[in-house]
Chain A
Amino acid sequence: MIPPEFDYVAPTTLAEAVAALGEAGEDAKILAGGQSLIPVLRLRLAFPTTLVDLSRVPELRGVSEDADTLVIGAMTKHSDVVEDPLVQQHAPLLSEATATVADPAVRHRGTFGGALAHADPAGDLAAVALALDAELVAEGPGGRRTIPARDFFLDYLETSLSPDEILAAVRIPKLRGSWGVRYEKFNRVAQAWAIVGVAAAVRTEGGAIAEARIGLTNMGSTPVRPAAVEAALVGASDRAAVVAACAAVAEGLTPPSDLGAQADYRAHLARVLTARAVAHAAGMSS
């Protein structure tokens, strides 16, 4: 199928991009990698007046670091995130999860920032950003602001970015200490979206879990951070304890019932997969 007509601008600096977005008005859309947006346009599910293409803004690409934080440009492609040595070193959970996004050709175009700003709760990376306490850096006409991941995802396909703001970068605190990570993605065929995904980062001390961070994919209208389970996992030193602590992971959640699965099955999967992810991350795989 064929996209509807729209105007197109390709700014070359972030400042120009913010200005272009402002000029284009409220029915404009930002074009990042386009791997979700272009199919949506082809199916004529959206009718933007203007696309502001960020792919020619070099300052939005690439991975850098400061003392405690990894800074990933919003337009960094998935394939570059996967291969980036800084990400592998300081946020291996992100490398692992990104490698499961779609397929190689899509990962060559799709971007980290685009995936987060799209805010599909079935997307893999939002749960990772949440689990890693990422901060999202937004640039707008009023300047720059930093939004914690927990405040960023508001609802299905809805974020706290205002229409005139552009996601510029994602700041991820480096993991320090003996962390293990795991992204458990459950889908019916390799290419499909996750029915449920679990991102887990676990720090162990003396064979027991000292700290656990978990993000859940597709267990609600936003990615979910099950804080009570994270707390309950502290001190767990074997698989049985992990399984017991994870039993409550779906409590209070309202996962969707859709073509992919019914809510109760998602809740069950979340329990099983969280236990698996945590146990694996903690080196307690049976």
Chain B
Amino acid sequence: MLIVGELINSTRKAISQAMEQKDKAYLQELARRQVEAGAHILDINAATSSNEIENIQWLADIVQEVVDVPICIDSPSAEAVAAGLARCQRPGMVNSISAEQERWEQMLPLIQKYGAKVVALCMQDGGMPETVDDRLEVAEKLVSGLTRAGVAADDIYLDPLIKPLGVDHNFGLQALETTRLLREKYPQVHVISGLSNISFGLPERRVINRAFLVMSVAMGMDAFILDPLDQAMMSLLAASRALAGQDEYCMDYITAVRAGLVKA
């Protein structure tokens, strides 16, 4: 199970402010707390700032001053991803590549050059995938293309492209079914998602997010981009892993309880 801490993201108001004011202490504290809470990788995103390149490098530098985990460079811009990866002290992660031709051609060389892990969105030119089959078709392009380019299966994190349940009541099932089939078809590749798209347009979004987390673990999702400071979420994740047979003797669960990380 891989947990990517999502909090240092410029689309969040507090973060874009901290970035503008160069509030290093606040951001470093947030980095430290996420790792303490169980994040294995920290996502950093400066995409909404006007000087993204400079900011992503600054974020990479200050985060790595205080934590030892890899960082995940989160941007649709290849230029920003290149700038961020160049500052990584250990192999990082790219969020994200897709099968859209331009993005593919720009991101792939960076992933190869830096030996980065990669989030691969099941999306290609011509529009969003509509059906489960559309997603599987794009996933096949991504996995075969990345593997051919020398990216290890273990470094690939397929994102099934989750759409909001509030827009169509079948979108939850679609995401779960895609996850199950991806897991079955590519046992060596990881399946990842964020937890907020699913609940767009619905009230009490965290309830939906948590239920989705539990159900997607059951379907074989093994990586999440989430807020590790959400203790209810982290508790459910530990319990879900144990229930899905991924936690021998339930020792991770028990250890997390003892550490105060898992609570009812």
Does B associate with A?
no
A residues touching B (Cβ–Cβ < 8 Å)?
Answer: none
